[in-house]
A = this chain, B = another copy of it.
Amino acid sequence: MKAILLIGDGMADRPLKELNWKTPLETAEKPHMDKIARDGICGIMDPLSPGLPPGSDTATLALLGYDPFKVYSGRGALEAIGSGVNVPSGAVAFRCNFATVDDQLVILDRRAGRISNEDASKLAESLQKVKLKKFENVEFVFKNTVQHRAVLVLKGRSFSTAVSDSDPEKTGVKVLEVKPTAKTVEAEFTAHVLNELLRQFHGILKDHPVNKDRVKRGLLPANIVLCRGAGTIPNVKAISKIYNVKTACVGAVPLVRGVCRAAGMDLINVKGATGTPQTDYMAKAEATVRILKEYDFVLLHVKATDVASHDGNFKQKIEIIEKIDEMLEYLLNNIDLDSTYIAVTADHTTSCLTRDHEGDPVPLAIFGPHVRKDEVEKYDERSCARGGLNRIRGRDLMPILMNLIEKVKKFGA
């Protein structure tokens, strides 16, 4: 018995005037999602708790069965391990941006003109060569991810997450000095190391040939690194250990991959999967079918619905939902339906109107051989609310799926 969990990031929405007070899910043509709903059991789910807008990290933790209120320890480390950078015990990770500042360190652009991956790679390579001679045993890893984004990990000594950000998250103001937010030796040491490192980074970047070339080309120089979101990896037991299953994640977004890796899941690399609306949807569906021979549980994540929602682009969101529906068609045609459960849901509601995550519940449909099929005919926010699962919490989903594939041990006798 196998289970696939298909997550459309931010796929749930609120009714939109432009869609005649329907949601994108209620508007899209998605016969295979509807089949999952019609032949499965449906419900609505509060990823965290009613009314609380989740991040993709906390929501994915919950959907994997963990209690984010207990285990969540910041985005930085999840993004780092999702990008293939190790965050060992005692280490602290930060989310970083390449940015542009003037001579007074006033921020002109927080994304250095959305610098290309190529330029960012060359700069990151130079920064990695910095030697922190002042601090014994301190090591760091700096790695660029997508465009201006990067991750930084401080390790080798005992570091603390109790430090402020150097990134003020707006332009026209000066870069901030990192300060300890707790009165501990570790917090003071972490702030001290980070300020020194960022100072050296700036020294290298401001005269770097790549930046000189960028200015010649009329582009903004990436002359500083901004840091935020100090975090450690959540201390959780691997899903494979909890349920004795082999688990994998098919997804491109570093943050979601990081959550899955923290949960002990294998990360599958799919060519053409980008975490953008231009991702290769079918390549991900094909990868899912392919690895299902080897894995008991596969999380299949599509980021694009969230991207469109943050842009307020409901037309694009509808198109992406229809592409996800084609992925489902492929799954339905290529897996053994007698031994596989498919759950379709979203990690949170992202409103095309507010362009932000919202606290409304998400629709959920579980399809498979032995579910108590209900009378819901369509997969969307309001149809699923009438389903046989009623209303559950994000944390409930994993035990339900694992029980369906006979992997949950009885409590009691």
Contacts and interface: CB of A to CB of B under 8 A. Distances in A.
Interface residues of A, number: 59
A59 B411 CA distance: 9
Given A382-B374, A388-B382, A392-B391, A412 B50 contact: no
Contacts of A374: 382, 385
A403 B229 contact: no
A4 B181 CA distance: 39
B353 A408 contact: no
A412 B58 contact: yes
B402 A68 contact: no
A186 to B, nearest CB: 23
A413 interface: yes
Given A52-B399, A382-B374, A385-B388, A68 B359 contact: no
A360 B368 CA distance: 14
Contacts of A357: 410
Contacts of A351: 370
B359 A399 contact: yes
Contacts of A396: 49-51
B412 A51 contact: no
Interface string A337-369: 000000000000001011011111000000000
A177 interface: no
Given A255-B413, A386-B388, 7 more contacts: A51-B396, A51-B399, A55-B410, A69-B411, A360-B403, A372-B385, A374-B382
19 contacts: A50-B392, A51-B399, A51-B401, A51-B402, A51-B408, A53-B411, A68-B412, A69-B411, A72-B411, A72-B412, A351-B370, A358-B403, A359-B403, A359-B408, A372-B382, A372-B385, A385-B390, A389-B391, A390-B390
